Amino acid sequence: MTEKLYLADSYLKDFTAKVVEAEGIILDRTAFYPASGGQPADLGKLFHGDEGLDVVHVEKSGDKIAHILKESSLEMGNEVIGKIDWDRRYKFMRFHTSMHLISTIVLQKYNSFITGNQIGLEKSRIDFNLRDYDKEELLSYVDEHANNLIKKGAEVKSYFLDREEALNIPFAKRLKTDSLPPGEKLRIVEIEGFDREICGGTHVRNLSEVKEIETLGLRSKGKDNKRLEFTLKGKDR
Ligand SMILES: [Zn+2]
């Protein structure tokens, strides 16, 4: 099993680790987030001696995490230093945290659930099973409420709870299609005073780090399925 360093500290940018399987480049521990839950994989480098090896993809492989390298000369037992592409990851963290915020705003006002989501570098999308709504009203409602909450700021924290306790939190399992990881504990991500969700992703520490969001539109993707797109605004967007 790979120790997932990003779960304890999503701000960890570099780390040391040991290669435990050369096939698929499995490390004993990693800060590289594997593509999952609509969040793309981290990119970056693994350094071994004088060599810097490009990580071009990261994916889950059972309870392990595989690092796909452009070229690899690594062998079992090698010590490496990993460095993630921080600008890319931090953007994903801001988008991902916004996603919690927007999905809760839409859930509370329209009683609508998420059917899918995808984070990108320029924009992200959330699909909802929406029925009764006015498009312009919904979009301006989301912009206004999300940005008010971002401006006020709130601590975003994560912790593990017993599986049953986590599943008893109303709406903690937001994405109906997503399967939960096995085990006795589930990870909760809480926007203090606002929302608690079961999630294994990476988030900013405070909502204020999102800075500002802007909805880009809402379009139909089927009978009850509507796709909301949004982007990040402000400096370093
Ligand atoms: Zn999350």
For ligand 1, the distance from its centroid to the CA atom of residue 79, given in whole angstroms, is 31
pLDDT tens-digit readout, 9-51:
999 999 999 999 999 999 999 999 999 989 999 999 999 988 9
pLDDT tens-digit readout, 179-230:
788 889 999 999 999 999 999 999 999 999 999 999 999 999 988 899 999 9
Whether 34 and 132 share a structural domain: no
Write the CATH number for 152.
Answer: 3.30.980.10
For ligand 1, the distance from its centroid to the CA atom of residue 199, given in whole angstroms, is 5
Q: Amino acid identity, residue 87?
A: D
**CA dist 8 to 5, 13, 192, Å?**
6, 13, 18
**CA dist 77 to 17, 22, 23, 74, Å?**
10, 9, 12, 9
Whether 103 and 190 share a structural domain: yes
Residue finishing a domain among 35, 68, 84: 84
pLDDT tens-digit readout, 71-126:
988 999 999 999 999 999 999 999 999 999 999 999 999 999 899 999 999 999 99
Whether 120 and 70 share a structural domain: no
For ligand 1, the distance from its centroid to the CA atom of residue 142, given in whole angstroms, is 18
Whether 202 and 169 share a structural domain: yes
Which residue range is the domain that position 71 belongs to?
A: 3-84
Which letter does DSSP use for residue 132 in this model? S
Give the angle 226-228-229 at the CA atoms, nearest 5°: 145
For ligand 1, the distance from its centroid to the CA atom of residue 59, given in whole angstroms, is 17
Residue whose C-alpha is closest to residue 234's, from 106, 85, 97, 91: 91
Residue finishing a domain among 53, 84, 115: 84
pTM of the model: 0.94
